[in-house]
Amino acid sequence: MTEEDSLDLRDSVPLALPTPDRPEETQSLDEVERDKEKRTDKRRNAAVNFAQSSPLRLLRLTLGPSLMVLLIVVMVFPDQIDAQWTGFAMICISIIILLPPTIAAEMQFITSENDFGPNKGAEQLSLNSFPGAERIRSMIRENRLNERIRMMATIVVGTLVMIQQYFLVGGPGNIVIMMAAVLLTAVTIAQTISLERTIQMRSLEFKYLPFHAPTQHSSQMHTVLSDLIEAHMDPDSASQWSAWLDELKPSIRNKLPPSLARERIVQAVYLSTMTDKDGVGNWKLNNILTSIVRREMRDWIMSEPSANIIQDNEEMASKLPFNISSLRRLLEHTEAWQPGLFRIIRRVRNDILTGDNSLVDSEWRMDHDLPLACPDGQGDLFLMVHNFGEREETVEVEVVVPGGLPEVQTFRVTPQPTPQLPAAIPLDSSSMTETLADRLSILMERGLVLWIGLAWSPKVRGRHPVQIHLRREGGETISSLVISTEVQQRSGGAGSTQVRMRRASSLGIEALRDVRDSLKMR
């Protein structure tokens, strides 16, 4: 073989698996690997949903107390009970009951390693760069370890019951063994209570979303709902959320920027859900989406395709999972984390309908929301500022938190001029929903939204004030107000991080769940 005919191994040619009988169906190794991961993910989803079914959860909750009762019976009636068979039965029953969640935990770990593992390409490595990626992997690993501990503890309990008969009844060896069995059973009960409250991957779409707790965000929000949703997304969902902009570009009407088009789509979905009555909201949503994107993208957003339809339609299968159903679940998940901004949006919506004076006859409007209680010494303050003047004007927003970390936060911002709205929308108007959507979009796009994190020192407790000042550059005060909140330290109540994660998981991730009623006006 001459030098010219030799193989050049320096060329980076993608490896492929040959199919001699069907050359046109030759698959690259990357495609084979992706198909394998998809099958693994489907098995993971089936295993988790089976393990989390109500009958199996009830059996797991009763397993620990049942083992404790059997231990007491063995200790009280040693001569009447066959310890050998009792211990063997305890082992078999425990394995049967605890095997499904153990397998589910292993499958979750395998899925996370496929997505975030070290032996992946640049796409997977980029997921690890998102905030919260390591936290997600840590939670999954911890869940896997706890499932193994629970399984091993129950097996050891049954083994101890079997071997205790070889020691004198009432003797030191027998007592030590039975006490060890009782302690391990108590560990099993505690582990079960903890594990049954843990978060699981219970869907194929946005599977890591329940594990994510927002840690970083921008103070100023430009596309309000889109930015808020993205701040509460896990790395995998956030990368898809960003990629959706590229998918939207060819379908956008009126040369809108992709980020603004996406924001208007989310606004329309949220508004239609608030105003939905007997399906009218979906009909109006269809009209609004038609003005934003072309027909093909509108039909995809309005559709709720089944798995069979997606498998039969390659074009549909290639689309990212953002349609009316998934967007509503994302909105509900985000509202469970941060209801404050949604309360402001609902107040704006009501003021548009009623023609409130702050929208039709004021130069400035500043709305705010701060929780009544701030658990763990932390809270989120949302401000929405509107400039109804004729020109842009730089203003200063100052937030004073006595005893806070820091005590004073100052923001120099320039809200866009917003045209003052006409009078209230007639409730019997045929175009009320479209008019409301247009006005709400203008106010949310022109308004300046600040998401300000507040924190207090560990020594601060009880009710404390928060001062908010809106000033012109010369120091003239436009608006000033004082609100108060209950500062709590080390709280395990409804506002704590773990409780909010479980609430967001239960509200936002259940696949095929109808979530329309939860976002309606309250």
Reported as a single tens digit per residue, the pLDDT across 60-88 is: 999 999 999 999 998 888 888 888 899 99
User: In angstroms, what CA-CA distances link 35 with 27, 47, 48, 86?
Assistant: 10, 18, 20, 46
SS3 state of residue 185:
helix
DSSP 81: S
224: left (phi over 0), alpha (psi -120 to 50) or beta: alpha
SS3 state of residue 190:
helix
Residue 68 near residue 185 (C-beta atoms within 8 A): yes
Q: Which residue in 133, 115, 137 sits closest to 124, CA to CA?
A: 115
Mean per-residue pLDDT of the chain: 80
**pLDDT digits (tens), the chain, 522 positions:** 454 454 444 444 445 555 555 555 555 666 677 777 778 888 888 888 899 888 999 999 999 999 999 999 988 888 888 888 999 999 999 999 999 999 999 988 888 887 776 555 544 445 665 666 777 788 888 989 999 999 999 999 999 999 988 888 888 888 899 999 999 999 999 999 988 888 777 666 677 777 766 666 788 888 899 999 988 887 778 888 888 888 888 899 888 899 999 999 998 888 877 765 544 466 678 888 888 999 888 888 887 655 444 444 545 545 667 888 889 888 988 888 888 999 999 999 888 888 888 888 889 999 999 999 998 888 999 999 999 988 899 999 999 999 888 899 999 999 989 888 877 777 666 667 777 878 888 888 889 999 999 999 888 889 999 999 999 988 899 999 999 999 987 655 555 555 565 555 555 444 333 333 333 333
How many helices (H) and strands (E) the chain has is answered by: 18, 11
**What single letter denotes the amino acid at residue 264?**
R
- pLDDT of 502 reads 58
Q: Which residue in 148, 157, 155 sits closest to 69, CA to CA?
A: 157
SS3 state of residue 472:
strand
Query: Residue by residue, what is the 3-state secondary structure of 135-178?
Result: HHHHHHHHHHHHHHHHHHHHHHHHHHHHHHHHCCCCCHHHHHHH
**Cα(34)–Cα(36) distance, integer angstroms:** 5
SS3 state of residue 391:
coil
What DSSP element (H or E) covers 264? helix 258-275
Q: Could you tell me where the DSSP H helices lie in 168-257?
A: 172-195, 224-231, 235-248
**Cα(423)–Cα(252) distance, integer angstroms:** 31
- pLDDT of 423 reads 75
User: In angstroms, what CA-CA distances link 203 with 42, 238, 273, 314, 500?
Assistant: 9, 16, 22, 21, 19
pTM of the model: 0.71
Q: Which residue in 138, 130, 434, 399 sits closest to 286, CA to CA?
A: 434
**Cα(30)–Cα(40) distance, integer angstroms:** 15
Q: Is 373 exposed, middle or buried (0-12, 13-18, 19+ CB in 10 A)?
A: middle
**Cα(510)–Cα(54) distance, integer angstroms:** 14
Structure tokens given for 112: 């996370």
Residue 388 near residue 447 (C-beta atoms within 8 A): no
Q: 52-72 burial, b for 16+ CB within 10 Å, e for fewer?
A: eeeeeeebbeebbeebbebbe
Residue 265 near residue 271 (C-beta atoms within 8 A): no
- pLDDT of 211 reads 72
SS3 state of residue 374:
strand
Q: 494-505 burial, b for 16+ CB within 10 Å, e for fewer?
A: ebeeeebbbebb
- Cis link prior to 100 (omega < 30° from 0)? no
Structure tokens given for 63: 């397993």
21 Cβ contact partners less than 8 Å away, ≥ 6 residues apart = none
Adjacent-strand bridge partners of 13 = none
Give CA angle at 194 (190, 196), nearest 5°: 115
Residue 117 near residue 133 (C-beta atoms within 8 A): no
**Cα(61)–Cα(68) distance, integer angstroms:** 12
- pLDDT of 408 reads 93
Sequence spans of domains, the chain? 31-195, 223-337+493-522, 360-491
SS3 state of residue 194:
helix
**Cα(519)–Cα(522) distance, integer angstroms:** 8
- pLDDT of 127 reads 60
CATH number of the 360-491 domain = 2.60.40.2550
Q: State pLDDT tens for residues 483-504.
A: 999 998 765 555 555 556 555 5
